[in-house]
Amino acid sequence: MIFFLFFSLHALCFKGDSHAALYDRVIAFVDDHAITLSELEENYKNTNILSRSVTHEEVLNTMINRVILLKEAKKYRIEAPTIDEVLKEYIDLKIRAFIRVNDADIEKFYNANRQNFQGRDYEDVRDEIDMFLTEKELNERLKVTLNELRKKTYIRIYLDTE
């Protein structure tokens, strides 16, 4: 009888907490990290402000990629004040550091796209082209890196993205 009374009081006292957890469901797991529906909706809302054509599936995949990259950054003990800075540091250290754009590629790009530079000389746009080609290569390598990391990661999605 005492056990039943204690159990009933415990259930009544903590009733609010148990129901609160039911309102937010897990929609994806990345290894042992859960992504909830409310996290997805918040990220979708913030992303939708910048790009109206973004889908929930694209936002969820971005969230999954961030979790994967953060886990990798943690392996290398990368720390920074914000998550975005941790990600940037990891990408700079593991990917960007190995990208070199040579002068021949920059000049080739300039000659192929001269009309887009509105008569500006090669020396005036060289740094812009270097930065553009570096970012292009970075994006390609990041995509490859993420594909490799995703193959090694347990990812389970419970959200119907249709």
CATH of domain 24-157: 1.10.4030.10
Distances from the Cα of 136 to the Cαs of 30, 88, 143, 155, in angstroms?
Answer: 27, 16, 11, 27
Who contacts 128 (Cβ-Cβ below 8 Å, separation ≥6)? none
* Straight-line distance from the first to the last Cα atom of the chain, in angstroms, rounded to the nearest whole number: 51
How do the pLDDT tens digits run along the chain, 162 residues long? 443 334 444 444 444 444 444 578 999 999 999 999 999 999 999 998 888 899 999 999 999 999 999 999 999 999 999 999 999 999 999 999 999 999 999 999 999 999 999 989 999 999 999 999 999 999 999 999 999 999 999 999 998 755
Going from N- to C-terminal start, the domains of the chain cover: 24-157
**Residue-by-residue DSSP string for the chain:** -HHHHHHHHHHHHTHHHHHHHHHS-EEEEETTEEEEHHHHHHHHHHHHHH-TT--HHHHHHHHHHHHHHHHHHHHTT---SSHHHHHHHHHHHHTGGG----HHHHHHHHHHTGGGGTT--HHHHHHHHHHHHHHHHHHHHHHHHHHHHHHTS-EEE-S---
